Structure 1
C-alpha cells in the first residue's frame, strides 16, 4: 500500500536516480522489512523478497525485463544493497541486542529455553536460531563478540551501497 502511495513521486522520470534510491531506502524498505528481526526465512522466502524488490527497483528506473538490464546495474545506479543482506543484518542486530540483555529478561529467557518432548517425523522446521547461526557463519562472526556492542555492529553490518554493483 505504501508503495502505491509513493509511486507517483518515485516513478517520475524527471527525478534523479540517487534521490529515488534514498526514498526507497528510507520509506519503502523499512515497511518491507518490518519485524524481519525475528523471521525464520527460507530460501523461497528470500527469493520472493528479492523478486519483489527488483520489481519495485525496475519500476522506479522505468526499465522492464525486456530491456535486459542486469540487476547489479539497477542496484548500482540507485545505490541500494540487496534486501536479503539488510534482512540478515537486522537479524544479527537483534540477536546481539538479546544476547546483551539481562539474564532475567523475557526475550533472553525464551531464547535460552529448552523444551522437552518429541519432534515429529521428517525434516525439522527451520528455526530462527538456525538462520542466525548461518548468518554468523557467513559474516565470520562468533558468539563471543555479541557482548561488545560496537565490535558486534562493525562485524554484522550490511555492505555499504557504494560497493554494491
Structure 2
C-alpha cells in the first residue's frame, strides 16, 4: 500500500511483483491509503452486527434475565466492536453512528419496539450503560495514562509528547488521532503533556479523571 507517493514503479521481492492494495488488515485493524480510522470503524460495526444477529435467540428468550443478556452483549458484541478503539480517531459522525448502533441493540434486548418510546437517558439508566462515545474516550485516556507513566526514553511516550519543529503546509491541517487527543487535553485544562504526566503519576487522580469522562450527556427523546 502506497501513501502520498509520486513514484509508482513496481516493487519486486524474490523475483515476484508485490501487489498494490487499497487497504489491508494489520493486527486485526484495517489500514487504508486514506488514513484515519473510518474504514476500521465500519468493518468493526459490521462484525458487531453479525455477532449481535447470531445471538438473536438469546435476546428473544425468556429464560435469561436482562442482566444476563447485557453481560452476554458486553462480552460477545461490544468486545468485538471496541477492539483497538483507543486508537480510533473518531469524528462526531463516527460517535453518532456508534451510539446509534449501541442504543438499537439495547432496545432490542429490552424488547422495546416501535411505536413504544423511551428517551436515550432512560435507556442508559435502565441498562446501566453509557454512550459508546464516552466508553471509547475513557479507553483512549486510560491507554494514554499508561503511556505517560512509562520511562522518558520510551518510544511510544516520545511519539505522544514530542513537539515537531518547523512549519507545516498552508491550509487546514488534517485531523489526526494525536491532534484530537491534544484538543481533548486542552479541554481538560492541560497546556502540555507534562501537566498530564503529573496527574497520571497519581493513579487515584487518574481513575477519578476516567470516571469523569464516563459521565454521559443528557439525551433527548428519539423520533
- Name the TM-score, length of structure 2 as normaliser: 0.62
Distance 1:129 1:91 in 2: 11
- 1:73 aligned onto 2:127: no
Distance 2:127 2:74 in 1: 10
Distance 1:72 1:116 in 2: 45
- 1:34 aligned onto 2:83: yes
> Any conservation in 2 of the 1:95–1:132 contact (CA below 8 Å)?
no
Which of 80, 96, 100 is equivalent to 1:51? 100
Could you say which structure has the greater relative contact order, defined with CA pairs below 8 angstroms and 6 or more residues apart?
1
Deviation at 1:90, TM superposition (A): 0.3
Distance 1:119 1:11 in 2: 55
> Any conservation in 2 of the 1:99–1:146 contact (CA below 8 Å)?
yes
What is residue 137 of structure 2 aligned with on the other side?
A: 88
Deviation at 1:43, TM superposition (A): 0.6
Deviation at 1:140, TM superposition (A): 6.4
Deviation at 1:92, TM superposition (A): 0.5
Deviation at 1:60, TM superposition (A): 1.4
Distance 2:88 2:112 in 1: 31
User: What runs of 5+ residues in structure 2 fail to find an aligned partner?
Assistant: 1-49
Q: How many residues align?
A: 163
Point out the structure with the larger strand share.
Answer: 2
Give per-residue Cα distances to partners, 1:20-71, cap 9 Å, x unaligned.
2222233322221111111111111101101111111112122234322222
Distance 2:68 2:186 in 1: 34
- Name the TM-score, length of structure 1 as normaliser: 0.80
Point out the structure with the larger helix share.
Answer: 1
> Any conservation in 2 of the 1:99–1:108 contact (CA below 8 Å)?
yes
Max radius of gyration: which structure?
2
User: What runs of 5+ residues in structure 1 fail to find an aligned partner?
Assistant: none
